Every structure is written in C-alpha cells, then in structure tokens.
C-alpha cells in the first residue's frame, strides 16, 4: 500500500512546517568531528595555524622570537638538536661546534630553514670573515654589542638571507691538540645567525632585528660553554639594526 502522506499535498489550512536550518557553527562542529573520526590523525584547528616549539637553540630562543620568523600557516621544529652547546673540546653527537637549525614545514614541498645559528672559534679571523660577508652581501653594517665584541649585519636584500655575526672575546681558551695545526688559539668565539626570510610575512627590518636579539642571547651563553677565563662585557639589549 502506498504511503498516503507522501501523496496527499499539505492543506492550506495546515500550520506551516518549520524549516530545518544548519547554522554555520553546526557545520564547523560537524567538520571537526568528521575529520577527527574519519581522518584519525588530522583535525581542523583554525586557532592553531602555527605550531612552534616553546624554545630552541639551547633554550636561548623563545617561541615569540620564532613566531616573528615563521610563516602564517605551518609547523616549526628543531632538527638535530644539541642538548648542550658543542665546542671543539666537548663535542656533541660528533659536532665540534654549536649548531642549531629550526625548520619550517609550510606551503612548500620541502622544509625551509626558519633559523640557523652556529657557534665556533673564530678560526679565519674577524677581518677575513668581514671581507667574505662584504663580497657576498655588498656591504656590512657594524653593530655594537659591547666593548668585548665585534659585530655586524650583512644583507644583500631580495631572497638572500641577512646574516648577523657577533664575536665575543674569550681569554684562555685552547684548541685541542689535533686541531691546532701550528696556529694560535682563537681569541674570539663567533656567533652567526641567519635564516630564509621568504618564510616569514614579517617586515625584513624586524627579521634582521630578531637575528640580532638571538645572537646576543647565544653570545651570553657561549663563554660558559667555552670556559673562557674572562667575563665578556655585553650590552643588556641588542643594538637597533639600521634599515638596509
């Protein structure tokens, strides 16, 4: 027998039926539930578009600093993490110098370097490094991090990364015998900070300033790792990086 209710049209005298409406927030909840249940490993979280570690680089770099360098949507993570700052006298995982890389997995198929920081003895000498940066970037601008330091920013503009270098005087440090090769022990420890600026939507000037802030923090930790006989005098806050 046919269902009469599906054949007989509603009478004009019948009360109007209430239409079913799906509100936008209902749809959003349904989407989250479907993704969490169906996908298993993924859920749409519009309030967590950027995922970053709370700290990085021997706990010297904060999440807020990484956020300046991050893109608008993606995940940052520290690769090949060193539990402590490596030195030639005290290697970590085979590395004889401090190395920190924070990677960014965003819209590109391959990960980009959000932040790269290295700490090592100034093997080549300050003047040689300055000449190298000048050749690559076109110019270097001095930065004053304190009386026991030498520093500068090198920035060629465009897609090339700005680089901040900071040299901290370290008295009494001696290289291991196998690394000396007849040369004098370096009088300075070098901190170098750079990255790939196209990852971030922040102004380039702010990116350069963040590199300087990070370099100063790491420079404060380096004398302890190298067991310098002196206590280098450093500024309390990083100098303002001039606009390129």
Convert the pLDDT of each residue in 134-156 to its tens digit.
999 988 999 999 999 999 999 98
For residue 140, tell me if it sits in a domain. yes
For residue 211, tell me if it sits in a domain. yes
Q: Is the pLDDT of residue 65 over 70?
A: yes
Cα–Cα nearest to 71, from 117, 105, 109:
105
CA distance 160 to 71: 17
The long-range contacts involving 138-146, CB below 8 angstroms and separated by at least 24 positions, are 141/241, 141/242, 141/244, 143/212, 143/238, 143/239, 143/241, 144/235, 144/239, 145/215, 145/216, 145/219, 145/234, 145/235, 145/238, 145/239, 146/232, 146/233, 146/234, 146/235
Convert the pLDDT of each residue in 81-134 to its tens digit.
899 999 999 999 999 999 999 999 976 667 899 999 999 999 888 999 999 999
Share of the chain above pLDDT 90, in %: 61
Q: What is the pLDDT of residue 72?
A: 87
pTM for the predicted model, two decimal places: 0.78
Count of domains forming the chain: 1
Q: Residue 194: pLDDT band by 50, 70, 90 thresholds?
A: very high
Q: Is the pLDDT of residue 28 over 60?
A: no
Q: What is the pLDDT of residue 50?
A: 87
Q: What is the pLDDT of residue 111?
A: 83
Q: Is the pLDDT of residue 241 over 80?
A: yes
Q: What is the pLDDT of residue 20?
A: 39
For residue 110, tell me if it sits in a domain. yes
Q: What is the pLDDT of residue 27?
A: 40
Instruction: Name which residue leads in pLDDT, 178 or 184.
Output: 178
For residue 177, tell me if it sits in a domain. yes
For residue 68, tell me if it sits in a domain. yes
Q: Is the pLDDT of residue 186 over 80?
A: yes
Q: What is the pLDDT of residue 168?
A: 98
Task: Residue 94: give the domain boundaries.
Answer: 51-226
For residue 142, tell me if it sits in a domain. yes
The distance from CA 217 to its chain's CA centroid, rounded to whole angstroms, is 14
For residue 95, tell me if it sits in a domain. yes
For residue 122, tell me if it sits in a domain. yes
């Amino acid at each position: 027998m046919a269902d009469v209710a599906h054949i007989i049209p509603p009478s004009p005298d019948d009360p109007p039926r209430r239409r079913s409406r799906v509100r936008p927030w209902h749809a959003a909840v349904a989407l989250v539930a479907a993704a969490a249940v169906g996908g298993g490993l993924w859920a749409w979280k519009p309030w967590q578009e950027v995922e970053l570690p709370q700290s990085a680089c021997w706990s010297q770099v904060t999440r807020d600093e990484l956020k300046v360098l991050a893109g608008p949507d993606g995940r940052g993570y520290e690769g090949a993490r060193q539990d402590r700052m490596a030195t030639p006298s005290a290697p970590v995982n085979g590395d004889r110098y401090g190395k920190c890389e924070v990677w960014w997995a965003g819209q590109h198929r391959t990960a980009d370097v959000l932040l790269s920081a290295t700490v090592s003895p100034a093997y080549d000498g300050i003047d040689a490094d300055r000449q190298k940066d000048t050749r690559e970037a076109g110019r270097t601008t001095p930065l004053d991090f304190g009386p026991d330091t030498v520093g500068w920013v090198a920035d060629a503009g465009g897609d090339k990364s700005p680089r901040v270098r900071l040299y901290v005087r370290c008295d009494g440090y001696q290289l291991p015998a196998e690394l000396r090769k007849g040369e004098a022990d370096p009088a300075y420890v070098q901190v170098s900070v750079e990255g790939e600026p196209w990852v971030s939507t922040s102004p380039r000037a702010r990116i350069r300033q963040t590199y300087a802030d990070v370099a100063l923090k790491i420079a404060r930790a380096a004398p302890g790792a190298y067991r310098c006989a002196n206590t280098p005098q450093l500024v309390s806050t990083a100098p303002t990086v001039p606009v390129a």
